[in-house]
Amino acid sequence: MSASPRPVTTHPRLPARRGGGAGTWWSKAVLRAVEEAAFSVADLRRGRTLARAGAVGSITVSEGGALAAVTDGQDAWTVEVTVPVLDDGDAAAFVELVAAESGRIGALLAGQLPHSLVEAVEEAGVELLPYGGELGSACTCDAWLDPCSHALAVLTQLAWLIQADPFVLTHLRGLSRDRVLRDLHALTSPRAPDPGSPGDQPALDDEVLDDLVVAEDAAVRAARLLGQERPFDAW
């Protein structure tokens, strides 16, 4: 039996923009990781310039990486970046921590990454926000070192995508939006008591279940709007 294909999400080309914007605390954390990954200030500045100029094409995000084309002058290069995915234990811990506090899944679907969630995730030993050494890359250009300026441009735009939608970050870590919702549903769904096990089953948290219902409805609405709106046009 063949394995199920990995979920992928393609984000449309971002328009040119002036400056990097104020950003959010989590997108700034990702941008710091990009800075740590760069081998030279010149490459980092060139990468930022390409990102702001809209030289990065559509970005396809999958579990553990992203793929995009970058136009530089008369040439176009293909860039692949990689981020380590969470193992099964860390992925399960992340979902449990999202479900542990009312409102967290709603915040994620609203484009927010609660600081309390990231703190709880880190205390559990789960790496969600990347650091520079975790960011791998490969480019079809002839640069000697990776990340080259083209890879840094893609990583910079990934930080901007994560700013608007933290599920881009979880997807890179191996947890797509659909998987998070599916695992939350499995975690919070009422289960029939097992006659063979002693004691009562833990009661279902009604607030978590209500949040999940709202979250699933929001996800459906967002999916309908994705093809109609481009939120980055206003940036």
C-beta separation of 170 from 64 below 8 A: no
Q: Which pLDDT does position 200 carry in this prediction?
A: 43
Residue 137 burial class via C-beta count within 10 angstroms: exposed 0-12, middle 13-18, buried 19 and up: buried
Residue 102: what pLDDT? 83
For 95-149, how does the pLDDT look when each residue is reduced to its tens digit (9 = 90+)?
Answer: 999 999 889 999 999 999 999 999 999 999 999 999 999 999 999 999 998 999 9
Contact 72, 161 (CB under 8 A): no
In this structure, the number of other CB atoms found within 10 A of the CB of residue 78 comes to: 15
Mean pLDDT of 169-192: 87
Mean pLDDT of the 226-230 span: 40
Residue 15: is its pLDDT beyond 70? Answer: yes
Task: Compute the residue count for the chain.
Answer: 235
pTM above 0.85, yes or no: no
Query: Does 147 sit behind a cis peptide bond, omega within 30 degrees of 0 on the bond before it?
Result: yes
**Counting beta carbons within 10 angstroms of the beta carbon of residue 172, is it exposed (0 to 12), middle (13 to 18) or buried (19 or more)?**
buried
- As given in the structure block, the two tokens for residue 27 are 């997108």
